[in-house]
Every structure is written in C-alpha cells, then in structure tokens.
Structure 1
Amino acid sequence: MTNNNIEQLLQDISRKINISETAYSKYLEFSNIIKKEYTESEFSIYPQGSVRLGTVIKNYTDDETEAYDIDIILKYKSNEYLNPQQLKKITNPSENNLDDKFEDIKEKKPCWFLINNGFSIDLTPAIKSDDDTNLAYEEYDLYITRTEDYKNYHFKNSNPIGYYRWFKKINQRQYDKEFKALISIGIEKDKIIKQLIRTNLQKSIQVLKYLRDIYFHNHYYKDYKPASIVITTLVTSIYEQFEKNYYKDEFLTIYEIIIYFIYVCNNLENNKSINLSEEELGVLNPIRELLKEDNKWYLPNPTDKKENFMDRWNPPHDNYQLREEAFLKWIEYLNNIFKVEEKLKNAFFPEDAKVVNIKPYGY
C-alpha cells in the first residue's frame, strides 16, 4: 500500500467515524433543552472538549449503534461564593426539571452524567477562578467541581475556552482553506455547518481516538487507556512545530501526523521501523525528550503550564504503572498495524479488536 493509498483509507475512515449532521442536530437539541432549564441570568452553558474542537467520534460499539460522548460546561455567573459541594448541588439536573427529558441522570466525580438517545453528556459545574497566575489565558480560567468519594468536594482548575483558542490558532490555516473550498463549489455561507468542517489535524486526532477505542475494547487495560486530552495535546503540539517551521504552503497528511505521533511515543528508546529525515527529527526529538523528562511522564497543559496531563502516570498515583504499560502497548499496536497493509485495513473492524485482549507485563 502506498502512502497515497493509506492516506485515502484514513480520509475515508475519518468520514465514517465523524459525528453526522443528524447527530450534531440532536446534540444542539439536547443542549437547548439544558439551556432552557438553567436561567440565563445565572448560568452560561457552552460545549467543551471534542465537540468544541471538532474531534468528536462515533463511539466504538459491538453493534452499529450511533452513540457519542459530549462535554458541556455549566458555569455559574453570580459573584456569590459557593463551595464545591454547594455548586454541585444547585446544578443537579434532577432539581432543574430535567428528569423527564433524559433517560438517565446520575452524579459522576467531576460532573453530572445525562443519557439520551445515544448521547452521553457530561455536564460539568464551574465558576470563575480567582487564580491570577495563568496570565496567558486568565480571563477563561475556571474552577470545576471534583469529588473522589461523593462526600468531600473540591475545586480543580480548568480552562476549556483557553484550550480551544490554543487549538484553533494552530488549526486555523487549513480550516480557512477548507471553508473557502466549500464556498468555491457553490455552497452558501449560511448553510455551512462550521463545526463539521475538519482539517487533517482534527481527522488524525479522530482516527487515533478511534484506534484507541478499538484496541482497548473489552481489554484488560480498558480502565487505563490514554485520555483524549493527552492524544489531542500531543498530536497538536507535534503539528504546531511543523506548521511553524516547515509547512508554509502545504499541510501535513493524516498519515504523516500519525507516523510522527508514533515516533514521538515509540517506547522513547528508538525509532524502530520509522525512518525520518534530519529535518523531521529536529522537530520531533525535543517533544520526545520532554515527554519523558527526568524519568517522569510530562505533558504540560498549553493553557496552564502548572498542570501535567500525564501526572497520573507517575508515582505516587495508584496504578500509574498500568497507565504507562497501557499506553506503550497501544503505541506498539499502532506501530505494528501501520507497517502492514492488511493489518491497517482490518484494524477498523470488530474482529481485529479480539487479537489485542492481552494481559499486562508481569501477569
């Protein structure tokens, strides 16, 4: 399989796993239902995570069910001070007339969890942060609620809008080109669903997230699979460095982005079968060295350098070894399927998931 054929396969797959127009309309419908029940004068409600970044994927399931995970911020506007437990309580969807509008509502550690018609919605309570140490994105800093035992609550820093702005700036050049291409074929501006336009950066994140979900489906490591924020931040950081330095008149392909991702993550020891130019190595090696700094995993939040998205992969966190093992096993799997034509083709079908149900090292 040539690189061109692989790229076409990845482009085709990205279309299949992307959120459909029908499903996106359903998301807007559910979002509007939520907005109606929380007074606009008291709350700001807006998407965060993959739905805002344009990297939502259809959930990998044993059947053809069209299901999606969506994240929404529920920001309390008032200057009145509420502690984390109070904030969690007043945002309870069951106490805000949503019981009869969703199939199920329950509390999760960082949010409220709502289910309806194939959608899983994480509704996260938040207030404006008073932390003034993050000057770059200070106006977007939030405190979100968190609990480990559903008895004791605390606030955790978050900055979903700042993160989106960081991502958007890197993604903008190709996004603008894709938008203009739609207009050039006669589609009217007001009929273009901007959130469904996707660049190779967005598509590569979607493909990697889907391959992650295939690999960890019914897997021993399923509770330790790498978080979407880790994949998204690392891929975008890699893309950013090429965008700044080498790709002024063209764009990285999905295949190139994923190959660079595999190289950076590939056991952090050697590049195995991936042959890269000196120019490419010059871009990738600093990221690679940063990722495992002083024998600890380190991936800084680009909107708040104090936060390490890989912190739970290091001691003294529980099961930190399993998070590392799970990640490296998945990277090994990616390296393997991207070397062989049939393995890459078959990776997107349920049968292939069965061959990766393995136990971790030492078991």
Structure 2
Amino acid sequence: MVKRDDEILQSLSDLDLSPTMEKNARDKYAALSKYLGEHGLDSDFYPQGSFLIGTTIRPYRDGKDHDYDLDVLAILKRKKADTDAKSVKNDVGDCIKASGVYSDKLEKEDRNCWTLKYADISDDVGFSLDIVPSVDENVAIKQDIVNSGVSYSNAMKTVAITDKEAYSYDWLTSNPLGFGDWFIAISNQHLSNAMKTKQYSNLPVEIRMIYASVEKIPTYYYRSNLQRAVQFIKRHRDIYYDRSRLSKDRPSSILISVLVADCVKDNWYMSVSDIIHAFVIGFNSGSISIMRGDKILNPVDLRENLLDRASESMMNNMSKWVSSLNVLMNIEDERNFKQSIHNDVNSRVFSDAFAKPAIITPTKPWKK
C-alpha cells in the first residue's frame, strides 16, 4: 500500500521555509519598516504571495535549488490622489539606498519591487525580500470590485502597487492581502487540531519557548494539507518546466494556488493526496468554479482574468504538465512512487528506493 501523504510530506521536509528562517525573515522586514518610519516614510509591512499563504517552496531553476524569494507589501500611509507611483517607488528605494545597513543588500530595481538579498541565513541557504511599494487603492476602484461580486471585506484591502516599464511609472491594482484572507480561510478547513498539536511538538525549542501553547502560536507556523498540496504541485511544476526547457510557459504560483484552493473550498479535512487528485480532475474537466470558459478569474477581483496574457502554447503545455502530475499520483507501487518523487520532486529523498535488494545465498548445511 502506497503511503502517499507520508511520502509527499517527507519530500517537502527540506523544501519548505523552516520556522527559524520564517521568524528571521519576519524580523527583518519589521526592522526595515521601523527604519523607514524613522526616516519619514510611515508604512505598514505585510508578507504577501506564497510567504503570506504558507506555500513557499525553495525555487528550482537551471537544474538546481536556489535561495528563497519572499514578497513583502509596503503600504505607505499616503492617499493615492496626493502622490504618484514614481514618488512612492523611489522614496522607498532612496531611503534604502541611504542606509548603511541595507544599501549593500540592495539588488537592481525590479519592475514592482526593491529586492534585498540575505545570503547564508541557515545551512548555507538564504532568502531575498522583494519589497513592493504601494498605497491604498481609491474608493471607486474598490467599489467596482465589490460590484463584480467580491465580498466587501476582501475588496477593501485592495491596494495600488507601483509598476515601472522602461522609464515610466504607473499604478497596478492588486489585492494580495484579500487573496491571503480568501486562501487561508479555505486552508484552515484542511487543518485539524491534531495536526497543529503534532506540528507544534516538532517546532524548534526557541520558538516554542516564545509561544507557550498550541493555541498561542501564530498560524503561519502551521501547514495545512491544502498548503502542503500546493507546495508539492509547485515543486513538481518547477522541475517539469525546467527540464522541459519551457520556463517561459510555466504557470504562475498564484494561478496554481487559486485553482487548487477553489477546487476544495467546499470540503473539510481532505488529505494532501486527495487535494492533488481533486485539482487534477477539476482542471482536466474544467469543473473548478473559478474556471469560466477560457478564463480563470481572480477570486478577489472578479474583473481580472488570470489567463489574460496566456498563449495557446502555455495552455497546451500546462495540460501536459498536469497529465504528468496525474501519472505520478496514480502510481500504485510504493517503491515506484518513491522513485518518481526522487526524480521529479526532490532528489534528496528516497535514494534507498533505487537500491537493489541483496541476493542472499542460503547457507549450506555443515557436512561431517
């Protein structure tokens, strides 16, 4: 019998962001927020993307693992009508550049963010913090999102992030915090108290000393079966597309997270493998509710099609990748399942599945 969930969880053990590194990253962006505030840039910092929803996985590119990429939203306390995207982006960047602590960690300006690189944080693995400057979005746009069918509480968290193309700066409407609320609400349906208790006992002592009980520890230290399923699917995607030399067609993490969460939003306490199967079946049949014909809608802005820039080749390759994932998940032999995970997810696990069983010659009876 294949113990799929046990083996999936083992394959993720050194790919997930460790609790120690999670705390380190949160401490660092809190310190940066404090620094900006002390220098006239009052702001609120929040994790966003995979960092927020607990689905961070170690990046895999060009045949090897890389440092973690963590996204952080910096919401400046300015009215959008009283400022502009260029000022918001460059005020944050200039403040970082002026710091003796942060300037040497600053990478080249990216389209939506400023990147700070922290190397060798733990076991020769580091992370980057992508700081995304933003302001609160205006009321008219939020109302449009409500009118599209999104809940008021989610729509009100919409922000305007800065977007640089060539030498021009503009705004993009985005709602990473609302998306986080949407995803985590579904994620909690697949996280039992027994799972929390088990995970709490495996946390590093220094973190358990800070939080005296299972109930008091922040939920971002726990992982639900939904979060684990998304991590496994993302890792399989990364290796599949890298080996196939199709990185440009690789579906985004938000697209995967939306599809996987939406297909199990009406269920409770599903296993990791059952969630992965539900995603494969739902995608292949087009029955996931967020899939509308040739569109996949953003659940926190139903005006937005997440496939807006997707080419025909991208969709064809995505179907081939999901078929490959389906093949892996339907392997019935435990040894073959472990070998496939070793090959297609994490080569650091299940090496013993390739060992040939030793042929033992029976000992002959002693002759007098």
Give TM class, smaller chain: 0.7 to 0.9
1:145 Cα deviation from its structure 2 partner: 1.2
Q: 1:179 to 1:139 in 2, by over 3 A?
A: farther
Say which of 100, 119, 122 aligns to 2:130: 122
Confirm or deny that 1:263 pairs with 2:261. no
The separation in 2 between residues aligned to 1:193 and 1:68, in whole angstroms, is: 21
Partner of 2:351: none
Report the Cα offset of residue 199 of structure 1. 0.8
SS in structure 1 opposite 2:270?
Answer: coil
Which residue, 160, 163, 167 being the options, matches 1:146? 163
Aligned partner letter, 1:134:
I
Q: What is the alpha-carbon distance in structure 1 between the residues aligned to residue 17 and residue 299 of structure 2?
A: 26
- Count of residues paired in the alignment: 315
Judged with a 3 Å threshold, the aligned counterparts in structure 2 of structure 1 residues 99 and 208 are, in CA distance, closer, same or farther, namely: farther
Shift of 1:156: 1.1
Q: Residue 326 of structure 2 aligns to a residue in which SS?
A: helix
Per-residue CA distance 1:133-157 (angstroms, 9 max, x = gap)? 22322321111111332x1222111
Q: Tell me the residue number matched to 1:37.
A: 35
1:350, CA displacement in angstroms? Answer: 5.0
- Per the normalisation by structure 1, the TM-score is 0.77
User: Where do 1:14-163 residues align within 5 Å?
Assistant: 14-39=12-37, 42-60=42-60, 67-79=67-79, 81-92=82-93, 95-98=96-99, 100-101=101-102, 102-117=104-119, 118-130=126-138, 131=141, 132-135=143-146, 136=151, 137-149=154-166, 151-163=167-179
Q: Distance in 1 between matches of 2:177 and 2:157?
A: 6
Match of 1:164 in 2: 180
Q: Which residue identity lines up with residue 164 of structure 1 in the other structure?
A: G
Structure 2: state its 5+ residue gaps. 120-125, 203-207, 332-336, 349-368
Give the deviation of 1:176 after TM superposition: 5.4
CA distance in 2, matches of 1:14, 1:42: 38
CA distance in 1, matches of 2:302, 2:57: 28
For residue 305 of structure 2, the aligned residue among 308, 316, 336 is: 308
Cα gap change, 1:42/1:159 in structure 2, threshold over 3 Å: closer, same or farther? same
Q: CA deviation at 1:240?
A: 0.3
Question: TM-score, normalised on structure 2?
Answer: 0.76
SS of corresponding position for 2:22: helix
Alpha carbons of 1:193 and 1:95: their partners in 2 closer, same or farther (altered >3 Å)? Answer: closer
AA matched with 1:49: G
Which protein shows a greater Rg?
Answer: 2
Describe the shift of the 1:173–1:211 C-alpha distance in structure 2 as closer, same or farther (beyond 3 A). same
Q: How many angstroms apart in 1 are the aligned matches of 2:301 and 2:346?
A: 38
Query: Hey, what's the Cα distance between the residues in 1 that align with 2:30 and 2:91?
Result: 19
Superposed CA RMSD in Å reads 2.9
Secondary structure of the equivalent of 1:17?
A: coil
Determine which structure has greater relative contact order: mean sequence separation of CA pairs < 8 Å that are 6+ residues apart, divided by chain length: 2
Mapped partners of 1:184, 1:105: distance in 2: 36
Q: 2:248 aligns with which of 223, 235, 239?
A: 223
Secondary structure of 2:303's counterpart equals strand
Residue number in structure 2 paired with 1:325: 316
